[in-house]
Structure 1
Amino acid sequence: MTRHKCSSSRTVGGLEPGLETFAGFFERWLQEQERDLQDLIRVAKSDSESTQSVAELVNRVMGHYSNYYRVKSESSKHNACEMLTPAWRSHLEDAFLWIGGWRPSMAFHLLYSKSGLQLEAGLTELLAGLSTGDLGDLSARQLARVDELHRHTVREEKELTEKMAAHQETVADSSMVQLSHVVTELMHGGDSGNGTESVDQRVNSALVSKEEGLEQILGKADDLRLKTLKKVVDILSPIQAVHFLIAAAELHLRVHEWGRKKDAQAKESTKPTKIC
């Protein structure tokens, strides 16, 4: 497969140029997640849903997450740099990104936060020996499994962080330093002939290898994100999974909206004042 330099003009999901961009897919993904959120909320508030129908909804939502990462993986093959610096996310979201997405260990902080809130809300029922059925009613066995998965995920996360740091340092390896010097010399010498073309090929080749490394690390990070999400959901009962997926969707959608709003406000404030 031919690799390309980082640019913003690549295609997504193996589609031909002009048919699709990941930014367009991401906007549809947000709409799909909003629809999923409404279905999850409806089920969470209903007392008439069967366990089977709840499980089917959870499976459907998880299928949407799997498809999201499948398309993202295909997109990364065309342009890993763009996927690591996504223009379709707000600056607020950018500030909290870890290797092109959410940090996998955040899934546990989300679970603990929502569990604590629901535990507090349902404390009266729990003290009376009644089950709330939500995340405030996690069993000791569930908590032990979550803790074990959390520790394992943090170890994998640390390994990828170190791998990314090591790869980032290669931008200053001897070959890159030498190439940057050669290009500077050609620029100052005014060479626009075959020498420049040969160096351009060397530069392209060096950048391709860097992007291939980024693609591999991004792929591993996304695999860990999806794997962590699936394993957390597997630990929960179907209705508990519904509450967890509600919290995940709400957090993602609302932070995206807040970030977009802040970006729009910042852009508006930098506009020059018109003088009559």
Structure 2
Amino acid sequence: MAASAVGAGMDMGKLAFPRGQIENWGDSGVVVTSLRTDTSTDVDADEGNQAVGASQQGAVVCLDSSAASREKTGEHKTLRRLAQNREAARKSRLRKKAYVQQLENSRLKLIQLEQELQRARQQGIFIAGGFLGDHSYPVGGNGAMAFDMEYARWLDEHQRQINELRSALNAHVGDDELRLHVDAVMTHYDEVFRLKSIGTKSDVFHMLSGMWTTPTERCFMWLGGFRSSELLKILANHLEPLTDQQLMGLCNLQLSSQQAEDALSQGMEALQQSLSDTLASASLGPSAGSDNVANYMGQMAIAMSKLGTLESFLRQADLLRQQTLHQMHRILTTRQAARALLAISDYFSRLRALSSLWLARPRD
């Protein structure tokens, strides 16, 4: 009964009073204990739910943080790769630019080296050749070497005179002053023909082959020099306007030069054929015997005498060139002659420059 009453009372207490008034039941330890147990269970549940929520929230935050970290790491790697690509491209451009510049520098150095080697060779020739101050050449190969040195000096002086002539013509100086420059250049041309005459006497084959000139000049060489008729054709466009008398004089000069060149060329062909026939003679066989030896020596003496006429051909060719220049000078006015001399010098300067560029060209 008592337990039933207590249970009924507890049920009534639960139903009749709010939770806050349960404390008035001070004598009922059971009720208090029961209520405390319920409250503790609710608190623990709430705390558990809060702990789970906090744990889940922490897990979400951790996942979000990990994803963000991975995303930042990926962006960092992408930016780093882009930066590396840009740096590699920049270095590649710099290497290409440096390579192109190196090629250009190499080309210029080759041209400069060729000029320095030629000067050094000429200076060495001067020391070894024992060149005399009176312009006489030693016999043998040193004579040809000495001519090369003298021609290089002549060429330097010629360029200096051409520069002065060009400056005077551009400055529109008077005819009297301009004539002095023109006459100086003409006199200097006479000097090179005198040097060539000495060089021919020393080594006719050296002068005939034109080894004292550049390879491109040798390509257009005829009997140790330029063709007068071809040179007059080049000057035609640089001398206008011409009077009818001047035009007729230049045409006749070109025709006579062409005829003289043809005659010399035919003479050289005849000489070559005669030498070939002499050297190919059956009497020059290797068989022994005093008669055969005497015959051999006789035939070689004939070939030597024929070969000696080469000097005459070269002298006549240079004389033709020299006379053509002087006759052209007489036909033209002072200013026309100045323009003609400049055109001739510019033409041969371009040939020499072409040789330098050809020798310095890149080779695969």
Q: Please state if 1:15 is matched with 2:137.
A: yes
SS at match of 1:100: coil
Aligned to 1:177: 280
Larger Rg: 1 or 2?
2
SS at match of 1:136: coil
- Could you tell me how far 1:202 is from its partner in structure 2? 5.5
| Structure 2: distance between partners of 1:112 and 1:149 | 12
Among 89, 97, 100, the alignment partner of 2:221 is 97
Matches within 5 A, 1:77-156: 77-114=201-238, 135-156=239-260
SS at match of 1:26: helix
Amino acid at match of 2:267: K
Q: Please state if 1:44 is matched with 2:44.
A: no
8 Å CA contact retained: 1:103, 1:225: yes
Q: Please state if 1:56 is matched with 2:56.
A: no
Q: Please state if 1:220 is matched with 2:345.
A: no
Aligned to 1:240: 336
Q: Please state if 1:260 is matched with 2:363.
A: no
Classify 1:78/1:46 alpha carbon distance in 2 versus 1 (closer, same or farther; 3 Å). Answer: same
- TM-superposition CA deviations, 1:12-61 (whole Å, max 9, x none): 953336586111122112212211220111011012x2211111111110
- TM-superposition CA deviations, 1:245-268 (whole Å, max 9, x none): 000011112202211331344xx7
Specify every segment of 5 or more residues in structure 1 that has no aligned partner in the other structure, as ranges: 1-8, 115-134, 271-276
8 Å CA contact retained: 2:217, 2:348: no
Specify every segment of 5 or more residues in structure 2 that has no aligned partner in the other structure, as ranges: 1-128
Select the structure with the greater relative contact order (CA < 8 A; seq sep ≥ 6). 1
- Could you tell me how far 1:91 is from its partner in structure 2? 2.4
Amino acid at match of 2:281: Q
SS at match of 1:15: coil
- TM-superposition CA deviations, 1:108-162 (whole Å, max 9, x none): 1122132xxxxxxxxxxxxxxxxxxxx2221121111111212222111111111
Aligned to 2:261: 157
8 Å CA contact retained: 1:99, 1:218: yes
Classify 1:16/1:33 alpha carbon distance in 2 versus 1 (closer, same or farther; 3 Å). Answer: same
Amino acid at match of 1:15: Y
Classify 1:214/1:45 alpha carbon distance in 2 versus 1 (closer, same or farther; 3 Å). Answer: same
SS at match of 1:84: helix
Between the aligned residues of both structures, percent identity stands at 25
RMSD between superposed Cα atoms in Å: 3.1
SS at match of 2:280: helix
Amino acid at match of 2:259: R
Name the TM-score, length of structure 1 as normaliser.
0.73
Q: Higher mean Cα deviation, 27-36 or 11-20? A: 11-20
- Could you tell me how far 1:200 is from its partner in structure 2? 8.8
